[in-house]
Chain A
Amino acid sequence: MSIGLFYALVGGLLFALGVGGLILRPHLLSKILAFNILGSGAFLVLVGLGQRDGTPDPVPQAMVLTGIVVAVAATALALALARRLLDLSGDMVLPGEKAADEAEAGDQEAAPGDGPRGGA
């Protein structure tokens, strides 16, 4: 297995982890972190799979640079909105996603698809 393919496989795992975290974790910081994890997974696959034969490929590298800047922009906007919500409601949780869900979702963390216990 080439190192590129290894990176891509790790990227696949990170993506699944991030998707699970984004859906299940109620705290907004956890959700924003989960988005960054799933994005990083996609970037790893883009670069890793593209150069799995060992020759460096500048095209996916440039795409990932673009993708990182886009992710930074989205993260900044999400954080700003989360802080604004904190100002307005005193809470970093979207209405309808109660803190009780957090304990429940946390129980299943042994499964590999779930997000890490972050942010909150």
Chain B
Amino acid sequence: MSRWLGVSVVLLCTLLALALVGAMLVLPDAPVRLPGEVAQRLGESGVDHAVTAVLLNFRGYDTLLEVAVLLLALLGMLAAGVAPLRPAPFAADPLLVALARTLAPLMVLVAGYLLWAGAFRPGGAFQAGAVLAAAGVLLRLAGFLPAWNAPALHLRVLLAAGFALFLLVAAAGLYFGAMLRYPQPGAGALILAIETGLTLSLGLILAGLFLAGPETPRARGGA
């Protein structure tokens, strides 16, 4: 029964792959082309980089919900329950400690650069937040940061701050005619403010996905 199921799944997936490739090879040209429209409206968006303009202005609503998805992943982890922590779960390699000491400040600097660069070249809050989170993970591995059993109030405020600020801006947009609408002069400043908040919160959330994970009671691997 199970073998029969396996064979039919493999067959169906092969057929799916062939159908997908075949369908894509015979596609006509798309009737709607958005790059032109993005380029035309870029001046009104408040930033000079097209992808950032789409992410935080033209389709900013997607981004708002996506930050909620990240926060939700952390919430889901907390809800599933975290096993009790043991103190000092492992002794870090001295080399790792030295590396973390050197790299962590540099990574914060890189995150700041990425945040600032996002307005006119590839970069932005998500990339900056990811680098910040990586610094957090490195510090955790080197033993400088404790694992979170449950985030305390000040930590929860910081975790939610980026999303809350974005939400406030979204609601304030209603005053200017539509949810998430930015006032014309000042769109750039608002986007930078949102991105700064997001960098901080996303860095913390992404690091939290690692730090708040349940500690395995049984010793495994590096434990």
Check whether chain A touches chain B (CB < 8 angstroms): yes
In the assembled complex, the Cα of A73 lies from the Cα of B149 at a distance in Å of: 19
Chain A interface: which size bin?
A: 35 or more
In whole Å, how far is B120's beta carbon from the nearest beta carbon of chain A? Answer: 13
* Given known contacts A74-B73, A80-B213, A16 and B53 CB-to-CB distance under 8 angstroms: no
Bits for A90-118, please: 1 = Cβ < 8 Å to B, else 0.
00000000001100110110011110000
Verify A73–B21 contact, CB threshold 8 A.
Answer: no
Name the residue on B nearest A8 (C-beta): B24
Interface of chain B: mostly helix, strand, loop or mixed = helix
* Given known contacts A23-B9, A59-B54, A113-B11, A86 and B206 CB-to-CB distance under 8 angstroms: no
Verify B217–A113 contact, CB threshold 8 A.
Answer: no
In the assembled complex, the Cα of A24 lies from the Cα of B13 at a distance in Å of: 11
In whole Å, how far is B180's beta carbon from the nearest beta carbon of chain A? Answer: 15
Number of inter-chain CB pairs below 8 Å: 141
Q: Please give 13 more A-B residue pairs, beta carbons under 8 A apart, in addition to A66-B62, A76-B74, A113-B13.
A: A5-B25, A15-B16, A15-B17, A17-B17, A20-B13, A23-B9, A58-B35, A58-B53, A62-B62, A72-B70, A73-B72, A100-B2, A114-B13
Partner-A contacts on B (CB < 8 A)? 2-3, 6-7, 9-17, 20-21, 24-25, 27, 29-30, 34-35, 38, 50-51, 53-55, 58-59, 62-63, 66, 69-70, 72-74, 76-77, 80-81, 83, 126, 206, 209, 213-214, 216-217
